[in-house]
Structure formats: structure tokens, C-alpha cells
Amino acid sequence: MRVPTLLMLLLGLVPCVASAGEAGLIARVNGAPTLERAGKTEALKRGNNVFTGDVIETDANSKVKILLNDDSVLAIGPKSRVTVSDFVLAASGRDVRLQVLAGRFKIAISKFFGAHTDYEIRTPTAVAGVRGTVLWGDTGLDAICALEGTIEVRPRTGAGAPAQLSSGECVSQMAAGKTAPLKPTAEELAAYLKEVTLD
């Protein structure tokens, strides 16, 4: 039985998370995604470690699932580029920065019981501040949805006020400097999620 990394941290069973800069592990792959590291590009395979600064890219037929070292799960859909900018995990706190450079994603963020947690998802147009929750986003649609829990979304440009999203709420138009409510139908949302669900 696998003991979650986060639980081991909190119990003091491990002093830190793996090696410096390590953020997670490739749990599943569809198609032929690639990994860019230190200027070199190679095929991405199940079992590969993911380090801060790595860029994961999928083509039109690829999807990737990553198990992060805090037991959060990141799913990346087709035609996407994603990088883990920062990943610091210790019993005293958690600081994570993910950048979705292009494409679509879903992340289920594990709950954290340390003294401090700061989890941030950045797209080219928006910043989402989250804790223990599930969210989905698509840079092509310029949209972010809270699937479970609550998140705060703010545009990266303009003077638009941050939007507080509860489960089932979405926003769009961050490129225009605002967070306009978006209300996809149940069928549309199911289609969005299917795009980031591995077969």
C-alpha cells in the first residue's frame, strides 16, 4: 500500500521531497508527448520524473497525467504546453507555481495541513489562487472553472477585480482584463473534461 508523500512529510518520516527540484512523476501517457529540459527535447514516458523548469508538450493526439509530489494530480490535454515553475513542499508549508503556457488542463489539488500553502496556476491571461480543490482551464477559450471547492481568479492585465469562484462556476475574457461569468452547459462541460481525461 502506497503511503502518500504528504502524509509521510507530516508524520516526519521524510525530511524533504525527493531530490532538489523534483516536482512529480509521469503517471500515464497517451500518444507521443515530449519533455523539454535544459534546451533538449525527448519523448515523454510513463515513470519519468518531472523537475521544475521542465516543459511538457502534447500534440493533437496526446494527453498526460502527472502525480505531483504533494499527491495533487495534473491532467494535460492535447495541444498544450505546461511547466512547473516552482515546487517547494515541507511540513511547514507548500509553495507551488504551475504555468499553462497553452492548451487545456485539469488539476485536483490535495489538501494540505501544514502551516502555509500557496498554490498558483498561471495562464497567459489569468492567475488562479487555489488550495484544496479541483479546477479546469483552457487557454484557447480563455476560461477557468472551479469544479470542486473555491478558487480566486484575476486577470494578468487590466484593472479587473478578482473573481471568487465556487464549485460549478466559470469565468472567461481575462485577456480583456476582466473576469466575465461563463456558464457552459452540462454537455459542454462534459466535452471540456473529456479532452483532458486519459482513455
Per-block mean pLDDT, blocks of 10 residues, the chain (199 long): 46 44 96 96 97 97 96 97 94 92 96 82 95 91 95 88 93 95 93 90
pLDDT for the residue 20: 58
What are the counts of helices (DSSP H) followed by strands (DSSP E) for the chain?
2, 18
Provide the domain limits for residue 69: 5-195
pLDDT for the residue 6: 46
We report the CATH number of the domain holding residue 130 as 2.60.120.1440
**What's the CA angle centered on 195, arms 190 and 199, to 5 degrees?**
100
pLDDT for the residue 4: 52
The total number of structural domains in the chain stands at 1
Nine-digit cell string for 182: 461563463
CA dihedral 50, 55, 59, 64 (to 10 degrees): 20
Give the closest residue to 45 by CA, choosing from 72, 27, 60, 69: 27
